[in-house]
Structure 1
C-alpha cells in the first residue's frame, strides 16, 4: 500500500503541530501473512524536516506471533 498527501484514495492527513515540524511526503507499507501463523509488515515513511530542510526516511519492520 502507498499513501501520499492529497491523494483521493489512501491519502494522508497530518495535524498542524506535526506538519510544522516534519511534513509527510510518502508512506509505503507491505503486509505478509505467513503459513506458520505469523504476520509481518515493513513500512517506510518519508519526512521533510522543517528544522534542517532535508528529507529523512523512517523505516519499521516487525513480525507478530500469535499467543494462545
Structure 2
C-alpha cells in the first residue's frame, strides 16, 4: 500500500496470528521503523515467519 501520510503502524497489528507479511511503499521513515519494531517484537515471541518489505519508489518528473 502507498501510505504517504501514515506516521506509524500500531504494534498490535503483530498480534494477528495469520499475519505473514507487511509490505509498505513510499512511506515516511518512521513507518519503516514501526514495522521493524513489530517484526522485532514478533521475533522476541518466537514468531520468525512475519516478513516485512519496505520499498521506496522513485518518481520520475518529466518536464
* TM-score after normalising by structure 2: 0.30
Bigger relative contact order (CA 8 A; separation at least 6): 2
For the pair shown, the structure with the greater C-alpha radius of gyration is 1
Query: Higher strand share goes to which structure?
Result: 1
Query: Higher helix share goes to which structure?
Result: 2
